[in-house]
């Protein structure tokens, strides 16, 4: 395909295709229906831009991110390509120019926000123009159950049927469920030619740590990376401000960022991060979509992300230039409780909730993993990896012990109190502490009372957290977060299975040894 190679060099300025790009470009250029799943930063946009130039007629590109669309259009125009965008941010003149170029037949790429499809007139106009292909960026936005759902994406299927042209869909979200939804909603259930690019980002070092004075843990992590650009993700807006201040007091250059800030302030923070070297942004998940900074050297999570996909996407912002990058994700029992209750108290229907619990479980499994994190993470994306040599568990193997007896004691305390209590009270029972509440409920009479004195209070907290991480117990929102046993715990209770627990997080929680950060 000499034409493609020439365009690659002349228009885009690249000498070679990146891994996987060429096959996708060929299939899309040939007019096949295509679903391409590539990790963020993998170079998706080239896979529809280049075919658009190879084919006659106009390619419509649907994208949810107005800022990114405008960036891409500007870059294409600078490279001499006739491209335009129809978005809510347009001036009337810009919109007129786009329609004119479309009617004159000079336009090659027409970017559109999905909302545009809601106006019947737009589809009518497109029908009269020489549209020969549809490209859909961030195709997972069609998934009703995903966090980026855009209702107007559901109209894309109709657009494809109306125009009768091939469609190429692109996303970085790889789970089978989302893939299936894309196939149903964008391709009417007829499987497109699918490309699944490698999800491994071998230059990113993966590490998790149980929370133990989390602010200090983040400060320690940042201290050894002074002068590097980094992102700290926090679970709440309030926390971003406090942590940014603490980082500044420690001599870093740091900003906070969250969805509650004025749009102008957010833009200023984004622009500074993009431009400056060595700036830390302490942010909620509102920060990142659309940030295209190749040399982010580290990403830390001060709180557990909400799912394994969110984790992958957030750490994936580091090291896009391929140079080594570091990550650290902190997690604690409170995070698990919070994430569970967010799912339980959300508006999603029951079948969706169980899928969300499963995605959270996948992340907790990664957090409590006993062997190579990358093997675990890639396994989630159906990829295999032996051991990576670039994660905390490859650096220092987990120190485990047979936790079966401890888990059984904890389960016994839960069941004998009829699943009505939280970890604090259960720990009092296990330690044999006669609090008012213990006395009032006659829990001193339980056979479990005082049977757990071999561990400290903090160690029991770590055991309960690991049990939550293995989904052996779950807080019940209808019982004020009381811990209840799951079916997964039954084999352990019945002596049919054993379980290993991590000793290091137990000693860390006991204050004996600080976790390595
Ligand atoms: P994605 O949409 O998959 O996150 P982009 O399409 O924005 O990724 O591409 C990510 C970066 O990779 C961009 O800076 C782009 O210019 C660069 N890129 C894409 N293809 C190539 C290539 N063949 N050679 C070198 N750089 C490339
Ligand atoms: Zn590893």
Q: What is the pLDDT of residue 246?
A: 98
Q: How far does the centroid of ligand 1 lie from the alpha carbon of residue 271, in Å?
A: 20
Q: What is the pLDDT of residue 514?
A: 31
Whether residue 238 is predicted with pLDDT greater than 70 in this model: the reply is yes
DSSP three-state, residue 13: coil
HSE of 430, CA atoms in CB hemisphere, 13 A: 30
Which residue's alpha carbon is at the smallest distance from atom 13 of ligand 1? 43
Using 50, 70 and 90 to split pLDDT, how confident is the model at 17?
Answer: confident
Testing ligand 1's pocket by substitution, the residue of 28, 43, 63, 290 carrying the most ligand atoms inside 8 A of its CB is: 43
Using 50, 70 and 90 to split pLDDT, how confident is the model at 505?
Answer: low
Going from the C-alpha of 406 to that of each of 117, 211, 319, 512, the distances in angstroms are 58, 21, 41, 19
Contact assessment for residue 472 and residue 492, using Cβ atoms and an 8 Å cutoff:
yes
Q: What is the pLDDT of residue 2?
A: 55
Q: What is the pLDDT of residue 236?
A: 92
Residue 62: its H or E element: strand 58-62
Which residue's alpha carbon is at the smallest distance from atom 5 of ligand 1? 43
| Ligand 1 in reach of 338 Cβ (< 6 A) | no
Q: How far does the centroid of ligand 2 lie from the alpha carbon of residue 292, in Å?
A: 27
Using 50, 70 and 90 to split pLDDT, how confident is the model at 196?
Answer: confident
pTM value surpassing 0.80: no
Interval 341-395: pLDDT, tens = 888 888 878 777 887 888 888 899 899 998 899 998 988 877 777 788 999 999 9
Which residue's alpha carbon is at the smallest distance from atom 24 of ligand 1? 14
Tokens 């989630």, residue?
Answer: 380
Mean pLDDT of all residues in the chain?
90
Q: How large is the average pLDDT for residues 135-139?
A: 96
Ligand 1 atom nearest to CA at 15: 24
Q: How large is the average pLDDT for residues 307-329?
A: 91
- What ipTM score was computed for the predicted complex, to two decimals? 0.96
Lowest mean pLDDT across 26-40, 101-115, 212-226, 494-508: 494-508
Going from the C-alpha of 316 to that of each of 140, 197, 289, the distances in angstroms are 17, 15, 11
Q: Look at 150 and 358; give whichever has higher pLDDT.
A: 150
Using 50, 70 and 90 to split pLDDT, how confident is the model at 199?
Answer: confident
Q: How large is the average pLDDT for residues 99-117?
A: 92
Q: Look at 508 and 74; give whichever has higher pLDDT.
A: 74
Q: Quick one: which ligand is closest to 294's CA?
A: 1
Find the angle CA(122)-CA(124)-CA(126) to the nearest 5 degrees: 70
For ligand 2, a single-atom ion, the residues with CB < 5 A are 372, 374, 388, 391, 394
Lowest mean pLDDT across 213-222, 313-322, 398-407, 427-436: 313-322
Testing ligand 1's pocket by substitution, the residue of 15, 17, 46 carrying the most ligand atoms inside 8 A of its CB is: 46
DSSP three-state, residue 501: strand
Using 50, 70 and 90 to split pLDDT, how confident is the model at 512?
Answer: very low
Interval 389-417: pLDDT, tens = 999 999 999 999 999 999 999 999 999 99
Ligand 1 atom nearest to CA at 44: 3
Whether residue 508 is predicted with pLDDT greater than 70 in this model: the reply is no
Q: Cα 420 vs. chain centroid, distance in angstroms?
A: 33
Contact assessment for residue 363 and residue 308, using Cβ atoms and an 8 Å cutoff:
yes
Q: How far does the centroid of ligand 2 lie from the alpha carbon of residue 376, in Å?
A: 9
Whether residue 290 is predicted with pLDDT greater than 70 in this model: the reply is no
Residue 182: its H or E element: helix 176-187
Q: How far does the centroid of ligand 2 lie from the alpha carbon of residue 217, in Å?
A: 21
Q: How far does the centroid of ligand 1 lie from the alpha carbon of residue 287, in Å?
A: 20
Q: What is the pLDDT of residue 58?
A: 97
Which residue's alpha carbon is at the smallest distance from atom 2 of ligand 1? 44
């Amino acid at each position: 395909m000499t034409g493609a190679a020439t365009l690659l060099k002349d228009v885009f300025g690249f000498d070679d295709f990146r891994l996987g790009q060429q096959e996708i470009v060929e299939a899309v250029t040939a007019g096949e229906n295509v679903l391409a799943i590539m990790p963020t930063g993998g170079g998706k946009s080239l896979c529809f831009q280049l075919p658009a130039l190879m084919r006659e007629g106009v390619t419509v590109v649907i994208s949810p991110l107005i800022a990114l669309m405008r960036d891409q259009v500007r870059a294409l125009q600078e490279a001499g390509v006739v491209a335009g965008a129809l978005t809510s941010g347009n001036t009337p003149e810009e919109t007129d120019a786009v329609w004119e170029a479309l009617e004159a037949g000079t336009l090659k790429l027409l970017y559109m926000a999905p909302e545009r499809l809601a106006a019947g007139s737009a589809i009518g106009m497109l029908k009269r123009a020489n549209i020969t292909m549809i490209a859909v960026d961030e195709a997972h936005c069609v998934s009703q159950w995903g966090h980026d759902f855009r209702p107007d994406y559901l109209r894309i299927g109709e657009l494809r049927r109306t125009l009768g042209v091939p469609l190429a869909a692109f996303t970085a979200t790889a789970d089978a469920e989302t893939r299936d939804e894309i196939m149903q909603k964008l391709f009417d259930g007829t499987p497109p030619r699918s490309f699944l690019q490698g999800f491994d980002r071998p230059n990113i070092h993966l590490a998790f740590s149980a929370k133990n004075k989390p602010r200090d843990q983040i400060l320690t992590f940042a201290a050894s990376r002074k002068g590097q650009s980094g992102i700290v993700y926090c679970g709440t807006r309030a926390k971003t401000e406090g942590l940014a201040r603490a980082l500044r007091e420690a001599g870093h250059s740091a900003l906070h960022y969250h969805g509650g800030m004025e749009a102008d302030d957010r833009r200023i923070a984004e622009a500074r991060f993009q431009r400056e070297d060595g700036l830390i942004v302490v942010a909620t998940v509102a920060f990142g979509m659309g940030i295209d900074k190749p040399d982010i050297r580290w990403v830390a999570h001060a709180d557990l992300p909400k799912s394994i996909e969110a984790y992958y996407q957030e750490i994936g912002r580091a090291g896009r230039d391929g140079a080594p990058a570091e990550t650290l994700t902190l997690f604690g029992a409170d995070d698990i409780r919070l994430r569970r209750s967010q799912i339980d108290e959300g508006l999603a229907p029951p079948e969706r909730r169980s899928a969300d619990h499963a995605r959270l479980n996948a992340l907790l499994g990664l957090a409590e993993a006993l062997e190579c994190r990358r093997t675990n993470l890639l396994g989630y994306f159906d990829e295999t990896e032996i051991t990576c040599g670039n994660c905390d568990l490859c650096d220092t193997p987990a120190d485990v012990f047979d936790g079966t007896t401890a888990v059984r004691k904890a389960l016994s305390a839960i069941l004998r109190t009829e699943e009505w209590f939280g970890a604090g009270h259960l720990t009092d029972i296990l330690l044999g502490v006669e609090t008012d509440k213990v006395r009032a409920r006659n829990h001193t009479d339980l056979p479990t009372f005082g049977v757990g004195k071999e561990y400290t209070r903090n160690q029991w907290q770590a055991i309960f957290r690991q049990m939550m991480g293995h989904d052996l117990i779950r807080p019940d929102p209808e019982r004020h977060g009381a811990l209840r046993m799951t079916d997964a715990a039954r084999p352990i209770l019945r002596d049919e299975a054993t379980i290993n627990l991590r000793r290091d997080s137990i000693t860390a929680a006991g204050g004996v040894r600080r976790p390595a950060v």
